[in-house]
Amino acid sequence: MFNKKFFLYLVLSLVFYGVVQFLITGMWLNDFYVDTLVLIGINIILAVSLNLINGFTGQFSIGHAGFMSIGAYVSAIMTYNFQMSFPVALLAGCVAAALAGLVIGLPTLRLKGDYLAIATLGFGEIIRIVWLNTEYVGGASGMNGIDKLTNWTWTFFLVLITILVIQNIVKSTHGRAMISVRENEIAAEAMGVNVTKYKVYAFVVGAFFAGLAGGLTAHYFYIIQPTSFNFMKSFEILVFVVLGGLGSTGGVVLGTILLTLLFTYLQEYPELRMIIYSLILIFTMIFRPQGLLGGFSAKKMVKKGGSSQDGSSTTSA
C-alpha cells in the first residue's frame, strides 16, 4: 500500500476533490452535477463493499439494499430523533448494519451459490417489510425532513476510506484467505483457513459499508422510504459489480461510474432501468464474464452451488 503508485493515486484523487470543491464553492457547479457526484460516490461505496462479499469471497449475495436500509434508518433516527452529530449517527448506522450482517450471515453461510442468493434476497425483503410496518419510522411514507448533512466532502472522504479499507483487507493474508474460499472452499479449509470465519468477516465488513452508504443517502435526499431499498436496489448494486469485474476494485469503481452516469441521463424513463440492467447483466455474463477490468468469472459465482464440494471426486487425470 505505501508505494509510489499508492501516493500517486492519493494525490490525484485529492486534486480531483480539491477541484470539485473549488467549483462548488464558486457556484460554478450546479446542483445537478453535485447530486450526480454524490450519488456516484454512494454507489461506489455500495459496489466496492458488495464486491468484498461476491467478488473476493465468492459468496453470491443480493441483499445489499437491506444492509443499506439499516444504515439509512438507524443514522436518520440518530440525527432526527436523538439529535446526535452526523459522524456518530453514521457510525451507529454502520455498526447496526454490520450486526445485521453478523446475525443474518451466520445461519445463511451454510448455503452456497443460488441458494445463498435466494436467502440474502429474502433477508433484504424482510428488512424492507419491517420498515414498512414500523410506525416509528413512518411506515410506507418513510422518514421526512432528515437534515441534509451529507455533502461532497463527506462523500469523497468516506469513499476514499471505504476503498482503502477494502483494499487493505484484500491485499493481506486475510484477503488471500477470502479469495481462497472463493477459489476452492475444500482446499481453503484443508489449508487451515477457517472458512466460516472469513465468510462472516466478508459479510460484516460488507454490511458495515453498505450501512455507511445508507447513512449518506438518508442525509442527502432528506427522505427515506422502504421502496428505496427494494430488490431493484440490490440488483442495481450487483450489476455495478458484475459489469466492473468481480474481485477487481478498479473495475467495480469504473463500472459504477459508467452506469450511474447512464441512469442519471435516463432519469426520465425509470421503467427502462430494470430492462437495461437485465440486458447488461446477460450480455456481460455471455460476452465478458470477467467484467470490464478482468475480475473473476461471474459464471463461477453462480455455478458454485452445483459443483461437488466433497473432495472425493474420482476423476482420473
Partner 1 sequence: MAAQQLLLNVDNVSRVFGGLKAVSDVNMQIQDGELVGLIGPNGAGKTTLFNLLTGVYEPSGGKIHLSGESVGGLRPYQITKRGAARTFQNIRLFGDMTVLENVMVAYHMHARHSLFTSIFRLPGHFKGEAEMREKAVEFLKIFNLDGKKDEIAKNLPYGEQRRLEIARALAARPKLLLLDEPAAGMNPQETVDLMNLIRWIRDEFKITILLIEHDMGLVMGVCERIYVLDHGQIIASGTPEEIRTNPHVIEAYLGQEV
Ligand X SMILES: Nc1ncnc2c1ncn2[C@@H]1O[C@H](COP(=O)(O)OP(=O)(O)OP(=O)(O)O)[C@@H](O)[C@H]1O
Using rule CB under 8 A, residue 159 touches partner 1: no
Separation CA 103–CA 160 (nearest Å): 28
If the CB atoms of residues 58 and 226 are measured against partner 1, the closer one turns out to be: 58
We find the least distance from the C-beta atom of residue 6 to partner 1, in angstroms, to be 10
The residues that bridge with 178 in the sheet, in sequence order, are none
Q: Which does 106 bind (CB under 5 to 8 A by kind): ligand X, partner 1, none?
A: none
E strand or H helix at 288, and its extent?
A: none
Q: Which does 179 bind (CB under 5 to 8 A by kind): partner 1, ligand X, none?
A: partner 1
We find the least distance from the C-beta atom of residue 314 to ligand X, in angstroms, to be 4
State which of positions 251-310 bind ligand X (CB under 6 A): 310
Q: What DSSP character marks residue 82? A: T
Separation CA 62–CA 289 (nearest Å): 18
Using rule CB under 8 A, residue 23 touches partner 1: no
The residues that bridge with 224 in the sheet, in sequence order, are 143
End-to-end alpha carbon distance in the chain: 41
Separation CA 127–CA 226 (nearest Å): 9
Among 95, 102, 118, 165, which residue sits at the site for partner 1 (rule: CB under 8 A)?
A: 165
If the CB atoms of residues 60 and 80 are measured against partner 1, the closer one turns out to be: 60
Using rule CB under 8 A, residue 173 touches partner 1: yes
Number of residues that bind ligand X (CB under 6 A): 3
Using rule CB under 8 A, residue 106 touches partner 1: no
Q: Which does 45 bind (CB under 5 to 8 A by kind): partner 1, ligand X, none?
A: none
Q: Which does 272 bind (CB under 5 to 8 A by kind): ligand X, partner 1, none?
A: none
We find the least distance from the C-beta atom of residue 311 to ligand X, in angstroms, to be 9
Using rule CB under 6 A, residue 314 touches ligand X: yes
Under DSSP, is residue 144 helix (H, G, I), strand (E, B) or coil? coil
Alpha helices in 52-193 (DSSP H): 64-80, 86-108, 113-132, 152-170, 173-183, 185-190
State which of positions 176-215 bind partner 1 (CB under 8 A): 176-177, 179-180, 183-184, 186-195, 201
We find the least distance from the C-beta atom of residue 247 to partner 1, in angstroms, to be 8
Using rule CB under 6 A, residue 312 touches ligand X: yes
DSSP for 212-274 reads HHHHHHHTTSS-B-GGGGSHHHHHHHHHHHHHH-TT-HHHHHHHHHHHHHHHHHTTT-HHHHH
List all residues 6 or more positions away from 70 whose beta carbon is below 8 Å from its beta carbon: 93, 96, 97, 100, 127, 207, 211, 214
Q: Which does 126 bind (CB under 5 to 8 A by kind): ligand X, partner 1, none?
A: none
84 torsion bin: left (phi>0), alpha (psi -120 to 50), beta (else): beta
Using rule CB under 6 A, residue 315 touches ligand X: no
Question: What is each CA distance from 176 to 184, 192, 271, in whole angstroms?
Answer: 12, 12, 40
Separation CA 165–CA 90 (nearest Å): 17
Using rule CB under 8 A, residue 10 touches partner 1: no
We find the least distance from the C-beta atom of residue 205 to partner 1, in angstroms, to be 9
Is the alpha carbon torsion for 292, 285, 54, 240 positive or negative? positive
Among 3, 83, 267, 315, which residue sits at the site for partner 1 (rule: CB under 8 A)?
A: 315
Using rule CB under 8 A, residue 317 touches partner 1: yes
| Interacting residue ranges for ligand X, rule: CB under 6 A | 310, 312, 314
Residue numbers at the binding site for partner 1 (CB under 8 A) = 1-2, 165, 168-169, 172-177, 179-180, 183-184, 186-195, 201, 296, 310-317
